[in-house]
Amino acid sequence: MNAPLASATRAWPAEGLTRVPYWIYQDPDIYALEQERIFRGATWTFLGLAAEIPNAGDWKTTFVGEMPVVVARDASGTLHAFENRCAHRGALLCLKRHGNSKEIACIYHNWTYDLAGNLTAVAFRRGIRGKGGMPPDAQPESQAPRQLRLADYHGLLFGTLSERTPPIEDYLGSEIAVRARRVMKEPVKVLGSYSQLLPNNWKLYLDNVKDTYHASLLHLFFTTFRINRLSQDGGVIVGGDGGHHVSYTLRNTGTRGEEYEMDRMRSAQDGFRLEVPDVLDSVDEFGDGITIQILASFPGFVLHQIMNSLAVRQVIPKGVGRTELVWTCFGFAGDDEAMTARRLRQANLVGPAGFISMEDGAATGFVQRGVAGAPDRASVVEMGGRAVGSDPSRVNETSVRGLWQAYRNYMGF
C-alpha cells in the first residue's frame, strides 16, 4: 500500500503479527508518519453522528488525526466536512464544539466561508478608497481548507482526504457492515457526550478494544455480576483488511461459574450486591440474544452495545503518549421514556468513571509507562494462534493481529 520506510532505523520483529515492537508507541517520527499515511491517507476516520447536527446551519468540530475538521449541514440539508483552518493565516475557523450559522467567519481577519468550506469573501480585498487591498490577480482561495469526502453510513459519519479510499461499505467489509447496521437500525437521538484524556499512544487503546479476552480478567464488574464471561457463547468477526472487527456475547449461556471454578478467578467471588440493581435491568431490543457487541474500525472508531447502552467512541491522537477518547451516547428517536431512562442508567457502566471500562484507560497507561525502557522488546500476541480471521472463541487475539496487519500495510512495514 505504501513504499517501505526508507528512513526506518528499526525493523519489525521476524515473527510478524505475533510480535508488536514497543518502539511503535514511542517514536515521534513514526507518529508523524502515521498522520500522513493513515489519518491523511486512504482510510475512513469517524467524525460523529449525523444526529449531532440535525438542522440546517448546524456544525460541529472534530479531528482527523491531528487535523482539525468542521462537519456542517448546509441550508439544503447536505452534509459537508472540511479542514478547520482559514486560507489566510491558518487560524481555526470554528472555535466551539457545536454551533449553528449561515456562514463561518474567521475571527482573525474576517475571511468568510460557506458551510461547504468554500471561501466566499475577503474583508477589505479592494482596500479602502482606492488604497491597500489585494492585487487584482491575487488568489486567496489557493490555500483554502481541504474538503473531505464524506460518507453517511446509517447515521455514522466518516471522512477521508484520499480519493483512493474505497466506498465505506467495501472498506468495512460485508460482515462488519451488517453488524454496524444492526445497531444503527433506526434514526437515533443523542443522549449526551463526554471525553477523557488517556496517558498512552492512540494505538494502545485500539489494541485494547480489539483484545477480546481481557474483559473477563480486568473488568471485575463484568464477571462479578455475570454480564460477560468467557463461558458464554459468542465470537469474534474480523473483516475488511483485518483492521475492523466485532466481538459479541450471547445472553445466559454457559454454566454458572464453570470456567471460574476451574481457574479459581477471584473476580467470581460471591457476596457483592448492587444498591441500585436497576442499572443491570435490560431488554433484548435487537431480538438476537446478543447482550454485548463491540465493533471497532481502523483507525479509531468504536460502536458499542452493552445491554441497552449504545454509544460511539472516537479515538483521537494527541501526541506520541497522549490520546483523547470522545464518547457519544445515543438512543433511538422512537424510544419511550422508560427505555431512555434505562439507557442513561446503563451509561454508567462505561466511560472514564464507568463500572466496567474505567480500567482500560489505566491499563493502557500502565503499558505506555512499562515499555518506556524497552523500545527494542515486543509484546506477545499468540492467544488463539498466529493467524488473522474470524473465530468462535473470544479467548483469542485474532483481531489484535488484524489491527497490526492493517497498520503495517498502511505504514509500509
Identify whether 10 is part of a domain. Answer: no
| 405 and 287 part of one domain | yes
How far apart are the C-alpha atoms of 209 and 363, rounded to whole Å?
12
At 342, which CATH number?
Answer: 3.90.380.10
| 238 and 135 part of one domain | no
* Cβ proximity of 315 and 325 under 8 Å: yes
Cross-strand bridge partners of residue 248: 235, 293
At 121, which CATH number?
Answer: 2.102.10.10
| 123 and 180 part of one domain | no
Identify whether 167 is part of a domain. Answer: no
* The pLDDT of residue 216: 63
Identify whether 382 is part of a domain. Answer: yes
Give the side-chain half-sphere CA count within 13 A for 24: 21
Model confidence pLDDT, tens digit, residues 14-48? 999 999 999 999 999 999 999 999 999 999 999 99
Q: How many domains does one find in the chain?
A: 2
| 119 and 182 part of one domain | no
* The pLDDT of residue 233: 64
Identify whether 165 is part of a domain. Answer: no
| 79 and 215 part of one domain | no
For 338-407, the three-class secondary structure string (H helix, E strand, C coil) is: HHHHHHHHHHHHCCCCCCCCHHHHHHHHHHHHHCCCCCCCEEECCCCCCCCCCECCCCCCHHHHHHHHHH
How far apart are the C-alpha atoms of 176 and 84, rounded to whole Å?
31
* The pLDDT of residue 403: 96
Q: What is the DSSP letter of 124?
A: T
pLDDT confidence of 320, banded at 50, 70, 90?
very high
Identify whether 41 is part of a domain. Answer: no
Identify whether 75 is part of a domain. Answer: yes
Residue type at 87 in one-letter notation: A
Identify whether 352 is part of a domain. Answer: yes
Q: Which of 135-139, 266-270, 340-344 has the lowest mean pLDDT?
A: 266-270
Identify whether 36 is part of a domain. Answer: no
Number of H-type helices and E-type strands within the chain: 10, 19
| Of residues 318, 321, 301, the one with CA closest to residue 406 | 301
Most confident option among 133-147, 217-231, 270-284, 384-398: 133-147
When pLDDT is averaged across residues 3-10 and rounded to a whole number, the result is 51
Q: Which three cell numbers stand for residue 313?
A: 467512541
Instruction: State the chain's mean pLDDT as an integer.
Output: 88
Model confidence pLDDT, tens digit, residues 58-99? 999 999 999 999 999 999 999 999 999 999 999 999 999 999
| Of residues 223, 337, 346, 330, the one with CA closest to residue 282 | 346
Return the higher-pLDDT residue of 390 and 378.
378
| 301 and 206 part of one domain | yes
What domain range includes position 317?
A: 172-411
* The pLDDT of residue 281: 82
* Cβ proximity of 52 and 98 under 8 Å: yes
| 140 and 188 part of one domain | no
| 108 and 182 part of one domain | no
| 313 and 389 part of one domain | yes
CB atoms closer than 10 angstroms to residue 382:
12
| 293 and 392 part of one domain | yes
| Of residues 268, 274, 222, 221, the one with CA closest to residue 249 | 222
Model confidence pLDDT, tens digit, residues 266-319? 434 566 666 767 777 889 999 999 999 999 999 999 999 999 999 999 999 999
Cross-strand bridge partners of residue 314: 301, 326
| 193 and 147 part of one domain | no
pLDDT confidence of 255, banded at 50, 70, 90?
very low
| 208 and 347 part of one domain | yes
The angle formed by the CA atoms of residues 157, 411 and 82, to the nearest 5 degrees, is 30
Mark which of 89, 120, 151 sits at the end of a domain: 151
